[in-house]
A = this chain, B = another copy of it.
């Protein structure tokens, strides 16, 4: 275990695009799963990131919002990952929902039990995981 983040996606940087302050880092997780992180120029330099770099993308489970796959909504989040519910573990207030993503990665989200019921989340149901590019933390192995 690298960190306490439930989602620690290992991937390869496919592109780094520099804006005036921040840089957008596109990451290929294998299969068809992709995600985007926004970090500072300094962090790109410190981590030595460039196309082809191996990187870990950390996303805490509590930072993810779940939505129906074929909802009638469009969202502002850069990251929208689609998958099938593989498991729902229910606690007193919150549930942990595991999605098998289309490209083969797994993603974990913590949502309230009320949301699990309201969205009908259970095994085999399709869902979409939303999180902002600015929520993603990147790490590299030395």
Contact = CB atoms under 8 A, between A and B. Distances in A.
B141 A130 contact: no
Interface in A93-142: 93-94, 96, 109, 111-112, 114-116, 118-119, 130, 132, 134, 137-142
Report the copy number of this chain in the oligomer.
3
Contacts of A29: none
Interface residues of A, number: 56
A137 B130 contact: yes
Given A74-B47, A76-B137, A132-B137, A67 B4 contact: yes
A118 B5 CA distance: 11
Given A91-B93, A132-B134, 5 more contacts: A3-B73, A6-B112, A47-B75, A56-B73, A60-B62
